[in-house]
Amino acid sequence: MLVSDATIAWSPDLQLRVAVGGTLVRASDWHELAYWSWEHRGPTASLAEWSRDDARLVRAELDRALRALASRVVADVAPEVTPTYPDEETPSGAR
């Protein structure tokens, strides 16, 4: 979402903000075990700048925001997870 905190500017700069939330629920009884929320705040730019070149800046910043949020989600939800391969050699490229 493009938002501005400026309440009196006629043409304020806008900031891309993306927020996501996640809930860990036990399947057997649907009891909520944990809840997380994350927000990414991107740079500010004018509406004209966000719109230029078929909204290239919006698409680039959205891609950057989603990658940053995905990294934070993995770090918070599964910080110690490492793949294991029972009785097999580690696949090439894996550590």
Flag whether 45 is in a domain: yes
Domain count, the chain: 1
Enter the pTM of the model. Answer: 0.69
Q: Mean pLDDT check: name the lowest of 4-8, 19-23, 61-65, 72-76.
A: 4-8
**Per-residue model confidence as pLDDT tens digits over 44-63:** 999 999 999 999 999 999 99
* C-alpha 80, offset from chain centre: 20
Flag whether 91 is in a domain: no
Q: Which domain holds residue 53?
A: 2-77
The 3-state secondary structure of 24-91 reads EECCCCCCEEEEEEEEEEEEEECHHHHHHHHHHHHHHHHHHHHHHHHHHHHHHHCCCCCCCCCCCCCC
Q: What angle do CA 80, 85, 90 make, to 5 degrees?
A: 100
Flag whether 42 is in a domain: yes
Flag whether 82 is in a domain: no
